[in-house]
Amino acid sequence: MTYCVGLRLDRGIIFASDTRTNAGFDNVARFRKMHVWELPGDRVIVLLTAGNLAVTQSVVSLLDEGLARSADSPDAGPSLFSVSTMFQAARLVGSTLREVHRIDGEDLGPEAAAFSASFILGGQIKGEGPRLFQIYDEGNFIEAGDDTPFFQIGEHKYGKPILDRVAVPEMRMGDAAKLLLISFDSTLRSNLSVGLPIDILIYRTDTWHVGEQRRIEAEDPYFHALSEGWSRALRQAFANIESYTNAD
Amino acid sequence: MTYCVGLRLDRGIIFASDTRTNAGFDNVARFRKMHVWELPGDRVIVLLTAGNLAVTQSVVSLLDEGLARSADSPDAGPSLFSVSTMFQAARLVGSTLREVHRIDGEDLGPEAAAFSASFILGGQIKGEGPRLFQIYDEGNFIEAGDDTPFFQIGEHKYGKPILDRVAVPEMRMGDAAKLLLISFDSTLRSNLSVGLPIDILIYRTDTWHVGEQRRIEAEDPYFHALSEGWSRALRQAFANIESYTNAD
């Protein structure tokens, strides 16, 4: 399983992804699910991946090969560095996913449905504001707006209540990072197939370069304090609500 | 969908269930999912149901018919009023569920897997302490212990983090009821197929009668205050955690 979140704010976009993959409970590995393409001064594009690792790695490799091809020849078709909008970037990721399904699907036969993938794509290309998309296994996609400023892929349920209650476009980046990490903390506690470390990336509007990118390990003192503090705060919040009855 | 919780405490057992059923988003109805059998002074047995309504109603009807039969003739096989332990009651519910699957399964053919059900069964029969079980679609079951004092069926994920953090066997009943309602509040907000009203039942150890049973409607002032208060408390708890960075 996987847990990834992208949150679009007035100040920019913040991304977070876990790093655990598993083929059964007894076959666990660590893989990066956050992929970044940057042309400083022109664009930052971030892709978070969930689902079958063979599919998501193929998509990323094909996107990388597209970059190399379009560097050699400008007529080689669109690449993440040649598209002029994030909408075009989302179409490119969607069509690349469809290509992978087409190549592998025939040989997978009736098992093909198990080889699904989904993505969160966000970033900014000069000429428009920052944009955030969720791309489905079918290759189509939706874009985040002010009503729903975040997308989650993978194991989304445990970490959703706090996002629903707290996420607003006006948030400061430091608070948004805290929010995403609390959402991860709830997910990590409840689903063994989501695991540390967490990759986190902060992109600030109109900077066109990656502001901050970090890997948060299990022993990270901030995450440790946040996890402890959130448990304590939740129990305190619980204690402050009036009991259903005063009866013992 | 459905959300039901049973929580076994030192002081007794508390049960809660929602009342929404749906066959598609455009076909929503209200059905009680909490069923109670009481022999005052001897036993209280509570059954919470999730899954296909045709299956769960058949199970309850067969259990009721078993009671009538065993009242007529003591040799008519076990009933919820004749079994001597909660373990035997769980076996009876499990075998009744298997009977329903046997009767209907053949005609359902390959669709049979969609007609699944699960249960939380709890209560106390004179001669032993209160016990709580979760019964699977296969008719087998597990019993709650001190390490995991609660069971959830249906849409369990949204409401689990707060249960994981707060539920302990030593809780007072008023706090346990508050906890279950907060867990319901998180679930109601995130899953449209779980809906008010909520049925809640409090059973106190060694009383052998239903202590308190109530239906909590949308306009219930306590639930309304709890829902508002919990949102406020969560946001306050969030604000009290240190930000990830002080950067804007």
pLDDT tens by residue, A56-78: 999 999 999 999 888 888 778 89
The 10s digit of each residue's pLDDT in A170-220 is 999 999 999 999 999 989 988 888 888 999 999 999 999 998 999 999 899
Residue B220 near chain A (CB below 8 Å): no
Report yes or no: B31 and B19 within 8 Å, Cβ to Cβ: yes
What is the distance between the alpha carbons of residues B105 and B156, in angstroms, rounded to a whole number? 27
* Interchain CB distance below 8 Å, A238 and B160: no
Cβ–Cβ contact A215 with B under 8 A: no
Q: How far is CA A159 from CA A187, B143, B156, in A?
A: 5, 28, 13
Maximum Cα interatomic distance, chain A, rounded to a whole number of Å: 77
ipTM over 0.90: no
**Is pLDDT of B68 > 70?**
yes
pLDDT in tens, A110-140: 777 778 999 999 999 999 999 999 999 999 9
A178–B241 CB contact, under 8 Å: yes
The residue among A185, A184, A186, A214 whose CA lies nearest residue A202 is: A214
| B23 contact partners, CB below 8 Å, separation of at least 6 | none
How far apart (Å, rounded) are the C-alpha atoms in residues A179 and A175? 6
For residue A245, tell me if it sits in a domain.
no
The residue ranking higher by pLDDT, B235 or A246, is: B235
Q: Which among B164, B177, B248 has CB closest to A190? A: B164
* Mutant choice from A10, A170, A220, A244 vs B, greatest count of B C-beta within 10 A: A244
Please check whether residue A86 is in contact with residue A133, taking contact to mean a CB–CB distance below 8 angstroms.
Answer: yes
Average pLDDT of B3-8? 97
Inside any domain, residue B246: no
Residue of chain A nearest B216, judged by CA positions: A244
Confirm or reject contact between B65 and chain A (CB < 8 A). Answer: no
Number of domains in chain A: 1
Asked if A221 reaches chain B (Cβ–Cβ under 8 Å), the answer is: no
CA gap A150, A128 in Å, rounded: 19
Q: Which pLDDT tens digit goes with each residue over A32-43?
A: 999 999 999 999
CB count within 10 Å of CB B82 equals: 16
CA–CA–CA angle B149, B154, B155 (5° rounding): 95
Report the share of chain B in percent with pLDDT over 70: 99
pLDDT digits (tens, 9 = 90+) for B177-190: 999 999 999 899 88
Residue B23 pLDDT level (bands cut at 50, 70, 90): confident
Establish if A184 belongs to a structural domain.
yes
Quickly state the pLDDT bin for A247 (edges 50, 70, 90): low
The residue in chain A having the minimum alpha-carbon distance to the alpha carbon of residue B233 is A237
Does A225 reside within a domain? yes
Domain for residue A248, yes or no?
no
Give the one of B165, B179, B190 whose C-beta lies nearest to A161's C-beta.
Answer: B190
Contact residues on chain B for A162, CB-CB shorter than 8 A: 234, 238
- Asked if residue B154 lies in contact with residue B126, where contact means CB atoms within 8 angstroms, the answer is no
| Separation CA A92–CA A79 (nearest Å) | 7
- CATH value at residue B110: 3.60.20.10
Side chain identity, residue B172: R
Model confidence band, residue B247 (pLDDT cutoffs 50, 70, 90): low
Chains A, B: CB contacts within 8 A come to 131
Instruction: Give long-range contacts, CB 8 A cutoff, 24+ apart: B205-208.
Output: B205/B10, B205/B11, B205/B12, B205/B124, B205/B129, B205/B130, B206/B124, B207/B12, B207/B44, B208/B39, B208/B40, B208/B41, B208/B42, B208/B43, B208/B44, B208/B124, B208/B126
Considering the domain boundaries, does residue A235 fall inside one?
yes
Mean pLDDT of A145-164: 92
Burial of A160 from C-beta contacts in 10 A (0-12 / 13-18 / 19+): buried
B136 domain-assigned: yes
Identify the domain containing residue B212 by its residue range. 3-240
Is pLDDT of B114 > 80? no
Per the CB < 8 A criterion, the answer to whether B17 and B34 are in contact is: yes
Residue B198 bridge partners (DSSP): B216
Instruction: Tell me whether strands A3-9 and A43-51 are parallel, antiparallel or unpaired.
Output: unpaired
Is the Cα torsion angle B232, B233, B234, B237 positive or negative in sign? positive
DSSP letter at A40? T
Confidence check: pLDDT of B75 > 90: no
Q: How far is CA A103 from CA A28, A68, A98, A106, A115, in A?
A: 27, 21, 9, 7, 12
A-proximal residues of B, 160-199, CB under 8 Å:
160-162, 164-166, 172-175, 177-179, 181-182, 186, 189-190
CB contact under 8 A, B173 and A247: yes
Q: Do the beta carbons of residue A29 and residue A22 sit within 8 Å?
A: yes
Domain annotation covers residue B245:
no
Smallest Cα–Cα separation from A101: which of A113, A87, A119? A113
Nearest-CA distance from A226 to chain B in Å?
Answer: 7
Task: Provide the 8-state DSSP code for B41.
Answer: T
